[in-house]
Structure 1
Amino acid sequence: MHLPIVNPVLTRELFGRIRGRNAWLILTGYLTIIGAITLLIYAVFVSSAIPNDPETSLRIGKGIFFTVMTVSLIQVCFLSPSLTAGAIVGEKERQTYDLLLASPLSPLQIVTGKVLAAIAFALLLIMASLPIAGLALLFGGITGQEVFIGVVGLLITAIAYAAIGIFWSTVMRSTLGATVMAQGTVLVILLLVPFLYFVISLLIGAFDGPPSPLYIYIMGTFLCLHPFIALGMTVGALESGNGPLLWQLSSSIGDLFVPSPWLVYSVLMILVTITCLALAWQRIQSAEDDSGS
């Protein structure tokens, strides 16, 4: 009895990715880096701990958890676009792109199959790192909300950045070019967002007093394009007594309630994902129309 194949592209990509040697090398390297840095952080906390201090265990737990989440996020930011950067342009280099277009598969099936395979592998990496993050629960200091938000942040980042990679894969003519552009886009986001925020805030004098509600909404949304800043602000909001959904901020007209940064980040990344996939689908559709005419 054979199960029906929903998406042949997804099936082929998954088998090819998991059976390949690179998958195990990436997974081993990913976990080795996380484990080594986590062990180093643990050693630092233990060596600097005050004897008989009841807060030591909580600090170690927080240190381990946030270290695992930060290192995982760094690796996801650069691995996810790399996993999809060669998805379409690689078919062109292997001269199988025209055959793929001539198949009964629709452009939507091609795009979703390629992206879902990369997301599945990224999800494997995220799930593999959770046991290391789970060590923090043995020490305490971490809530279930923080664990949930951390995992969601990793997953939504993996999906959005994989979509960025698939977009550049439909634009560029070589795998190297697509990888460089995808990685460059991620690097621009990580570096340009805080730089522009700082420059704009200085120019309008936002640091001189309580900000206006308009500034909070516009610049807050802009900052939430950055995964580390958005999730970092969420941690600060939770530690200051705010809930996981709303954040209370002081403005020039009094207290203001805004959505928690991780929610804003999730919505923005969903929009980025939809936009990149739509553009990729459009380019494949145009290529299919040209080949059929």
Structure 2
Amino acid sequence: MRRDINPILIRELRGRMRTPRAFWLLVGFLTAVAGTASLVYTASYLSSDGQSSGNNTIGNTVFFTLIVTAMAVLTIMAPVMAAGSIAGERERQTFDLLLTSQLSAGTIIFGKILATLAYCGLLLSAMTPLVAMTFLMGGVDLGELFIMYAIISASVLLFTCCGIYWSTRATTPLTAIGFALATVLSFLFGLPLLAVTIPTIWAQFLNDTAVLDVVANIGLATHPFIAMYLTDTAIHQQQIWMHEVTIKGVTFTLPATWILCIIESWLLSIAFVVAAMRRIWPQSTR
């Protein structure tokens, strides 16, 4: 049974969980999430004149704050941990040992990815008691929780695969981390900018920009924070699975934003993984 487990995954988890850094990262993550949620809860409580009972808005606000804060921390943490994995092997001069072993390029890549995802999953599991407290306040249901966790999981997978790709290209962990963070931040800030500027430019040449608006909305679905906001709005409008778009008087039904987010994140993740494997494959077959 144990032979079926990826050896890279076992090695990475053992090495990571035995260091004090893993514990302090967990403490820092929970402190950031709980601290931000406490500030938002206090502000919401005071703005409602201390009448929190029966006010579902406070529960939903605190829940959304927890989810967004967790996503913000994991947006930085996931690519940083993934980017230092293979580049770190090169710096420690152990990468050639991996290539001369019987492990394939896919085993190496997926082992590194799963190790990062496992630790990020541990962080999400650790914040479950904080999320459970929002159910006592009201305004949140299990469906919304699962949808938000699905968005976080898909986005963390995408950012992890991005970090792995740059880790296969860089020679030092610092260089890989720099390129990975630059790619993620360019994606987070550049995607909304393109979604706003491109329809504005094309509006000068087209009378009807509804098609461009739909394309922009589909592109923005990959952005985790925008996807969370649009999903939260759609849930309150009872549009969980589908939403309607009207183009030139014709109404079309499109999948919900969170579904598009998961699909697009998985497709981009596959592209990063394939590119990373192509970087290792020629070296592993020498």
Q: Indicate the TM-score class for this superposition, using the shorter chain for normalisation.
A: over 0.9
How far apart, CA to CA, are the structure 2 residues paired with 1:53 and 1:101?
59
Counterpart-to-counterpart distance in 2, 1:233 and 1:163: 25
Pair 1:51–1:43, CA change in 2 (3 A): closer
Q: Does 1:180 align with 2:178?
A: yes
Distance 1:120 1:53, change over 3 A: closer
Aligned to 2:18: 19
1:24-103 mapped onto 2 (5 Å cutoff): 24-50=23-49, 56=55, 58-103=56-101
Q: Tell me by how many angstroms 1:52 deviates.
A: 5.4
C-alpha distance 98-282 of structure 1, shift in aligned 2 (>3 A): same
Look up the equivalent residue of 2:182 and give its one-letter code: G
Which of 167, 176, 181 is the equivalent residue of 1:169? 167
Q: How does 1:97-136 map to 2 (within 5 A)?
A: 97-136=95-134
From the superposition, tell whether residues 51 and 259 of structure 1 become closer, same or farther in structure 2 (CA, over 3 Å): same
The offset of 1:78, in angstroms, is 1.0
Q: Give the SS at the match of 1:142.
A: coil
Q: SS of the counterpart of 1:124? A: helix
Alignment check: 8 A CA contact 1:81 1:179 kept = yes
Q: Which amino acid aligns with 2:57?
A: R
Aligned to 1:158: 156
**Partner in structure 1 of residue 277 of structure 2:** 281
- Measured after TM superposition, the shift of residue 29 of structure 1 is 0.2
Are residue 219 (structure 1) and residue 177 (structure 2) matched? no
Give aligned pairs, total. 285
1:236 aligns with 2:233: yes
SS at match of 1:248: strand
Amino acid at match of 1:258: L
The one-letter amino acid paired with 1:46 is Y
Using the TM superposition, give the Cα deviation of residue 50 of structure 1 relative to its aligned residue in structure 2, in angstroms: 3.8
> How much has 1:151 moved relative to structure 2?
0.7
Q: Residue 270 of structure 2 aligns to which amino acid in structure 1?
A: I
Distance in 2 separating the partners of 1:41 and 1:14 = 35
1:112-139 CA-to-partner distances (Å, cap 9, x unmatched) read 1111001000111111112111111001
4+ runs of 1 displaced by more than 6 Å? Answer: none
Q: Distance in 1 between matches of 2:276 and 2:50?
A: 58
CA 1:249–1:145: 2 relative to 1, 3 Å: farther
Between the aligned partners of 1:174 and 1:120, the Cα distance in structure 2 is 24
CA deviations on 1:133-163 (whole Å, 9 max, x unpaired) are 1111001111222111111111111111111
CA contact (8 A) 2:52 2:58 kept: no
Q: 1:236 to 1:93 in 2, by over 3 A?
A: same
Provide, for residues 45-89 of structure 1, a one-character-per-residue CA deviation record: whole Å limited to 9, x for no partner.
111114657653x11101110000000011111111111101111
TM-score by length of 2: 0.94
Contact 2:83 2:173 in 1 (8 A): yes
Assess if the C-alpha contact under 8 Å between 1:211 and 1:252 holds in 2.
Answer: no
After the TM superposition, which residues 229-268 of structure 1 pair with which residues of structure 2 at under 5 Å, given as runs? 229-242=226-239, 244-268=240-264
SS of the aligned residue for 2:15 comes to helix
* Uncovered stretches (5+) of structure 1, i.e. residues with no partner: none
- Taking the TM superposition and a 5 Å limit, the aligned residue runs for 1:133-148 are 133-148=131-146
Structure 2: how far apart are the matches of 1:129 and 1:248? Answer: 34
- Over the matched positions of the two proteins, sequence identity in percent amounts to 30
CA distance in 1, matches of 2:7, 2:94: 15
Q: CA deviation at 1:3?
A: 3.7
The 3 A distance-change label for structure 1 pair 10 and 196 is: same
Q: Which runs of 5+ in 2 are unaligned?
A: none
TM-score computed with the length of structure 1 as normaliser? 0.92
The code of the aligned residue for 1:114 comes to K
Contact 1:10–1:114, Cα closer than 8 Å, also in 2: yes
SS of the equivalent of 1:160 reads: helix
Per-residue deviation, 1:209:
9.1
Residue aligned with 1:127, SS: helix
Determine helix, strand or coil for the equivalent of 1:258. strand
